[in-house]
Amino acid sequence: AQSVSQHNHHVILSEAASLELGCNYSYGGTVNLFWYVQYPGQHLQLLLKYFSGDPLVKGIKGFEAEFIKSKFSFNLRKPSVQWSDTAEYFCAVSGNNDMRFGAGTRLTVKP
Amino acid sequence: NAGVMQNPRHLVRRRGQEARLRCSPMKGHSHVYWYRQLPEEGLKFMVYLQKENIIDESGMPKERFSAEFPKEGPSILRIQQVVRGDSAAYFCASSPGTHQGGTIYFGEGSWLTVV
Model pLDDT for residues A74-104, shown as the tens digit of each residue: 999 999 999 999 999 999 888 766 677 888 8
Kindly tell me if the per-residue pLDDT of B63 is higher than 70.
Answer: yes
pLDDT digits (tens, 9 = 90+) for B16-46: 999 999 999 998 888 899 999 877 677 888 9
SS (H, E, C) B16-52: CCCEEEEEECCCCCCEEEEEEECCCCCEEEEEEEECC
Provide, as residue numbers in chain B, all residues whose Cβ is less than 8 Å from the Cβ of A53.
none
Report the alpha-carbon distance of residue B91 to residue B100 in Å, rounded. 21
Phi, psi angle pair for B34, to nearest 5°: -120, 135
Confidence of residue B106 (pLDDT cuts 50, 70, 90): confident
Nearest CB to B42 within list A34, A40, A104: A34
CA distances from B76 to A3, B24, B48 (A): 26, 9, 12
For residue B83, what pLDDT is reported?
97
Asked if A99's CB is within 8 angstroms of B89's CB, the reply is: yes
**Is the distance from CB of B79 to CB of A73 less than 8 angstroms?**
no
For residue B103, what pLDDT is reported?
58
Report the alpha-carbon distance of residue A51 to residue A30 in Å, rounded. 9
CA distance A4 to chain B (A): 12
CA angle B34, B40, B46 (to 5 degrees): 15
Better-scored residue on pLDDT, B115 or A38? B115
Average pLDDT (B40-59) is 86
pLDDT digits (tens, 9 = 90+) for A20-69: 999 999 987 788 899 999 888 777 888 999 988 999 999 999 999 999 99
CA angle B103, B104, B106 (to 5 degrees): 140
For residue B104, what pLDDT is reported?
72
Compare all CA atoms of chain B with the CA of A2 and give the residue at the minimum distance: B108
Interface membership of B33 toward A (CB under 8 Å): yes
